Amino acid sequence: MKDETLVTLAGRHPEKHAGVVSPPVYHASTILFPTLDAFENQKDLEFTYGLHGTPGTKAFEEAMNALEGAAATVIVPSGLAAVTVALLAVLKAGDHLLMVDSTYEPTRVFCDKILKRFGVETTYYDPLAGAGISLLIRDNTRAIFLESPGSRTFEMQDVPAIVAAARARRDIATIMDNTWATPLYFKPLAHGVDLSIQAISKYISGHSDLLLGTVSSNARTAERLKAARRDLGMSVGPDDVYLAMRGLRTVATRLKQHGESSLVLARWLRERPEVERVCHPALPGDPGHAIWTRDFKGTAGVFACVLKACSREQLKAFLEPMTLFKMGWSWGGFESLITHGDPNEQRTATRWEASGPTLRLQVGLEHPDDLIADLEQAFSRLNAAKRP
Ligand SMILES: *Cc1c(COP(=O)(O)O)cnc(C)c1O
């Protein structure tokens, strides 16, 4: 069965719910035990306490297991919580972590503050390291964290080469933040990664109205992952899970449109004289294009655009009055967003070369012609602000 079909079916059990198409929402802390036997043998029961799941959350886990090809999935309150639970599942004091230098910024903050405080040392590595990662592996390295393409900068990592280097040692777990591609376009577990992270807040929920994350695991890491979620007390609101499941049903169709429109815009931006370069791995000529073509099945709609040098006032003229591209965090919703930042503020192993601001564009579901018109007006304002 193709993934486009799978997302419409996974986790549904109408026969258990009076024929109703979507699994109902269970609001629960207490779940009653019918007998003393049941009370005393809770290990054998599917549902024991709201914190550990209900038929509603179980349905979403089941759907994500199917899509990720996973032995287990845990649902946590945010994408960032998915990152922290995955890391805490496999690391302990005295361990060493290899973290990709282009990772999502709050992931870095967690490593530099909390993991450090608990005695885990982090080394940041070049996203282009590939098989060269072996040179950084130490005796006490216990995890390698990947994110491809990189947050903000969109470098493609050679996931199979890094997994092979990790697999040369049995005691290293690989973790990948796969939020950009979603399991529709890249399946980390099928490529030998142990833990696959998804910020459900992005494409899968798709409507900029909820926060959730998932971590999906292969069989060898499943027990450690489930224990970490349980012991950390991570629980999620049932209504958010319901909305995430609703988003999942249409994600394949939405993502296809996000990707197609983003390529229209990326091609258009690349021809603009105000643009230094466009960073979009699905665009032929991009440095990551060969790896993207080899490993990924499709493209998401988020990419970067580096402008030529301009002042803050000029950038303000460009960004502030936009009608469709609005400034705001997150992405993956139906509406377009634009942000800017200097990736070097979040890098230590490598340097990001750019003469002007690095913009991140999240291409929404608006018609690309309207998005181009919005950008065209922004460039006119930028040029007007540049004139003496
Ligand atoms: C947004 C994002 C997260 C965090 O997701 P939240 O639900 O906002 O916490 C993690 N990783 C990546 C790559 C993201 O883009």
Tens-place pLDDT, residues 151-208: 999 999 999 999 999 999 989 999 999 999 999 999 999 999 999 999 999 999 999 9
Q: What is the C-alpha to C-alpha distance for residues 316 and 331, in angstroms, rounded to an integer? A: 21
Residue 377 scores a pLDDT above 90: yes
Amino acid at 191: H
Q: What is the C-alpha to C-alpha distance for residues 209 and 198, in angstroms, rounded to an integer? A: 16
Angle of helix 238-270 relative to helix 368-386, nearest 10 degrees, comes to 60
Residue 120: phi and psi, rounded to 5, are: -105, 130
Centroid of chain to Cα 337: 17
Instruction: State in Å: Cα 79 to ligand 1 middle.
Output: 4
Q: What is the C-alpha to C-alpha distance for residues 237 and 243, in angstroms, rounded to an integer? A: 10
pLDDT (average), residues 7-16: 95
> Does the beta carbon of 240 lie inside 6 Å of ligand 1?
no
∠ Cα 132 133 135 (to 5°): 75
What's the pLDDT at 379?
Answer: 97
Q: What is the C-alpha to C-alpha distance for residues 363 and 337, in angstroms, rounded to an integer? A: 7
Instruction: Give the residue whose CA is nearest to atom 5 of ligand 1.
Output: 79
> Does the beta carbon of 149 lie inside 6 Å of ligand 1?
no
Instruction: Give the residue whose CA is nearest to atom 1 of ligand 1.
Output: 330
Residue 134 scores a pLDDT above 90: yes
Q: How many of the other CB atoms lie within 10 Å of CB of 121?
A: 14
Residue 211: phi and psi, rounded to 5, are: -120, 125
Q: What are the pLDDT digits (tens) for 19-73? A: 999 999 999 999 999 999 999 999 889 999 999 999 999 999 999 999 999 999 9
Q: What is the C-alpha to C-alpha distance for residues 143 and 97, in angstroms, rounded to an integer? A: 5
Ligand 1 pocket, mutate which of 111, 147, 179, 180 (most atoms under 8 A from CB): 179
Q: What is the C-alpha to C-alpha distance for residues 192 and 187, in angstroms, rounded to an integer? A: 9
Q: What is the C-alpha to C-alpha distance for residues 23 and 29, in angstroms, rounded to an integer? A: 18
Query: Measuring CA to CA, how many Å separate 89 from each of 142, 143, 166, 197?
Result: 11, 10, 17, 13
Residue 387 scores a pLDDT above 90: no
378 three-state secondary structure: helix
Instruction: State in Å: Cα 208 to ligand 1 middle.
Output: 12
Average confidence score pLDDT of the chain = 97
- CA-based torsion, 307, 308, 311, 317: positive or negative: negative
Pairing of strands 141-147, 96-100: parallel
Instruction: State in Å: Cα 228 to ligand 1 middle.
Output: 19
Task: Report the nearest atom of ligand 1 relative to the CA of 151.
Answer: 13
